[in-house]
Every structure is written in C-alpha cells, then in structure tokens.
C-alpha cells in the first residue's frame, strides 16, 4: 500500500515518470508485469483475448469467480497506475501492455473491482482498431460489471472511458455529457477529486466539440480551473486551460499570448529534469489553440519538440 500511495501522490504532483517507475517496479516485483516486452507478446495476447470474447458470452464473463488473492489484487492496482501514468507520458506501448495484461489476469483468476475499467479500456482499444461491435460490447460489459464488483471510483473511471471516448461517435451527445457529469459526481463523492475533475473537464471538452454556446462555456471552464485550485490538483487541467484560452478569444475576451506559447517551443526538455513531464503534458493541450486558429507553423514546431524530432 505504501508504494501505491507514493505512486499516486507523485502522479498528482505531475511527477509522472517517477510515479510510473514506482508502479512498474512494484508490479514487476510482484511477478505480474514483464521486465522486457516484445511486440509479438501484445499480438499474441490480443489474439487470445479476442478468442476469449468469441468463446464466452457476456453472462459467462459476468459469472466468472470474484478474485480474492490479495497479492493479485494489489498487483492489479499497480498495473492500473501504470496504465494511467503511461498514458500521460505518451508511452502507448506500456499503456497497451497493461490493458492486455489485466484482461489476461481476468481470464485466469476472475473479476475484481478493477475489471469494469479494464473492459472499458479494452473497448477503447477495439474502438481505435475500428471494431465498433467489440468496442460497444466491452463498454456494455464494463457497465454490467460495475453492478457486481465496482465502487464509486470505478464507476467514475468507466464513465471517463465510455462516455468520453467509446460512445462519442455513435451515442447522442447529451448521453455522453450526462455520463461524464455522473462520473464527476461519483468521483468527487468517493474522494478522488483528480478523477472527478477529469470527468468534468472531459464533459466541457465534448461540449466544445459538439458546438455548444461559447459564452456559457467560458464560465464553466473557469469553474473547472477554480476547482483544480481548490482541491490542489496539479494534473490534467491543461485541456481546460487551452479551451478557455480559445473560448475567451472567440467571444471577444482576452487575446491569446502567442509569444508565451511560442516560448514553450524553445524549452530544452533534457535540462528540465522531472519538470519536463509537466511541460510535455502541456504541449498537446497548447496545440489546440494553434491548430484551431490556424497557427500551423507554431503547431508544427510544438509537435516536433513533443516527439523529439529535429528542426
């Protein structure tokens, strides 16, 4: 538990690489996460998981035994942390590995409180591979599992993934936003303010994407950022910062300081140490105003820096 608390605390302070290192070390010491990884491992796992879904109905999965082994349960929590922090560091390989690993654990040992999120994440993976049927099925299984093994925090996570990603391309916009608002309420009620605010922020991102009125959105985004300050959450507020910047500009409010944004492209990340994670996390969000407002040259400079490409 001490290592888990440490990993979560580091993550909230934007020390994502350090958080990821703690979780990786713990999961490997528990013997549930590979020390070395090759692409064919992921391909092999992916094939086995698709066969598992093909050969088992939803009811079969819902009736799997409930996992009781405390060692495996703790390992699952560390693997979940690996997934969250690897996503923020842009390490999609680690993110994919942890998702596939957790499904394999379910196949072998049974379901646990983390299983709803695992299936939601698997649904998101299938969605990226354009397999909408499996994506929607996994999302449906995730919500069904919540009624069996999920708690408030798990519900909040599942809403982020399903309403914020999987359902967006096919479900009514209002349903997606309501799902995220529910995730926000449940996350805050469970005491996981970081997760609650992720849901709230995602709902505002979708509102912008779906074409809501900008003037009310400005006030909503200001409220989101105020809550980040109140709860002292230093992680994940960048999308709200970027959208507020654009919304204020488009409604005739505060102009965008392009020189300040350009200054980010002149950072030497190798000399910033752990603070580089904070800067790297901010770049994708700052790309929003540069692309939406057609500052393509600046966007290209930021993209090169983010991916470490030469000028």
What local confidence, expressed as pLDDT, does residue 274 receive? 54
Q: How many residues in the chain? A: 311
DSSP for residue 272: S
For residue 91, what are the domain limits? Answer: 1-151
Question: Is 205 contained in some domain?
Answer: no
What local confidence, expressed as pLDDT, does residue 311 receive? 42
Question: Is 69 contained in some domain?
Answer: yes
The one-digit pLDDT tens for each residue of the chain (311 residues) are 677 778 777 776 667 777 778 887 887 787 767 777 667 777 888 899 999 999 999 999 999 999 999 888 888 877 877 777 776 666 777 778 888 888 998 999 999 988 998 999 899 989 988 999 999 999 999 999 999 997 766 788 899 999 999 999 889 999 999 999 999 999 999 888 888 998 999 999 999 989 889 999 999 999 999 998 898 876 677 788 888 999 999 999 889 988 888 876 676 656 555 555 556 666 667 788 888 899 888 888 877 766 664 44
- Burial class (CB within 10 angstroms; exposed 0-12, middle 13-18, buried 19+) of 71: exposed
Q: Please name the residue ranges forming H helices in the chain.
A: 2-12, 16-29, 39-55, 58-62, 70-88, 92-109, 115-128, 132-149, 152-161, 173-189, 193-209, 214-230, 238-250, 258-264, 275-292, 296-306
Question: Is 47 contained in some domain?
Answer: yes
CATH of the domain at 86: 1.25.40
Question: Is 70 contained in some domain?
Answer: yes
What local confidence, expressed as pLDDT, does residue 71 receive? 84
Are 291 and 299 in contact by the 8 Å Cβ rule? The answer is: yes
Cα(165)–Cα(121) distance, integer angstroms: 10
What local confidence, expressed as pLDDT, does residue 262 receive? 81
Cα(107)–Cα(110) distance, integer angstroms: 6
Cα(217)–Cα(239) distance, integer angstroms: 13
Question: Is 185 contained in some domain?
Answer: no
Are 273 and 265 in contact by the 8 Å Cβ rule? The answer is: no
Tokens in use for 64?
């799997």
pTM above the 0.85 mark?
A: no
Contacts of 50 (CB under 8 A, 6+ apart): 134
Question: Is 99 contained in some domain?
Answer: yes
Question: Is 238 contained in some domain?
Answer: no
Angle between helices 275-292 and 16-29 (to 10 degrees): 120
Question: Is 248 contained in some domain?
Answer: no
What local confidence, expressed as pLDDT, does residue 89 receive? 65
Mind listing the pLDDT tens digit for each residue in 16-51?
Answer: 777 778 887 887 787 767 777 667 777 888 899 999
What local confidence, expressed as pLDDT, does residue 268 receive? 63
Cα(58)–Cα(114) distance, integer angstroms: 17
Task: Determine which helix (DSSP H) or strand (DSSP E) holds 309, and give its type and residue range.
Answer: none
What local confidence, expressed as pLDDT, does residue 8 receive? 73
Phi, psi of 272 (to 5 degrees): -95, -5
Cα(221)–Cα(99) distance, integer angstroms: 31
Contacts of 151 (CB under 8 A, 6+ apart): 113, 190
What local confidence, expressed as pLDDT, does residue 218 receive? 93
User: How many structural domains compose the chain?
Assistant: 1
């Amino acid at each position: 538990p001490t290592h888990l608390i440490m990993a979560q605390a580091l993550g909230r302070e934007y020390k994502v690489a350090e958080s990821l290192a703690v979780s990786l070390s713990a999961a490997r010491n528990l013997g549930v996460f590979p020390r070395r990884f090759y692409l064919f491992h992921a391909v092999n796992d992916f094939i086995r998981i698709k066969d598992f879904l093909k050969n088992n109905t939803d009811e079969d999965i819902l009736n799997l035994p409930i996992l009781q082994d405390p060692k495996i349960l703790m390992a699952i929590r560390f693997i979940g942390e690996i997934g969250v922090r690897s996503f923020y560091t842009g390490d999609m390989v680690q993110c994919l590995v942890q998702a596939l690993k957790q499904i394999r654990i379910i196949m072998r040992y049974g379901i646990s409180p983390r299983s709803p999120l695992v299936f939601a994440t698997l649904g998101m993976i299938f969605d990226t591979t354009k397999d909408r049927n499996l994506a929607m099925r996994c999302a449906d299984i995730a919500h069904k599992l919540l009624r069996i093994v999920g708690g408030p925090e798990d519900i909040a996570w599942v809403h982020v993934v399903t309403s914020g990603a999987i359902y967006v391309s096919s479900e009514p916009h209002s349903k997606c936003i309501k799902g995220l608002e529910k995730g926000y309420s449940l996350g805050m009620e469970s005491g996981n303010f970081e997760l609650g605010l992720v849901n709230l922020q995602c709902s505002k991102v979708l509102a912008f994407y779906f074409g809501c009125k900008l003037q009310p959105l400005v006030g909503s985004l200001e409220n989101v950022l105020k809550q980040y300050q109140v709860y002292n959450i230093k992680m994940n507020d960048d999308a709200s910062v970027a959208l507020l910047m654009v919304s204020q500009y488009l409604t005739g409010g505060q102009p965008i300081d392009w020189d300040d944004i350009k200054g980010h492209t002149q950072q030497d990340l190798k000399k910033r140490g752990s603070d580089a994670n904070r800067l790297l996390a901010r770049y994708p969000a700052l790309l929003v105003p540069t692309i939406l407002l057609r500052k393509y040259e600046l966007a290209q400079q930021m993209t090169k820096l983010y991916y470490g490409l030469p000028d």
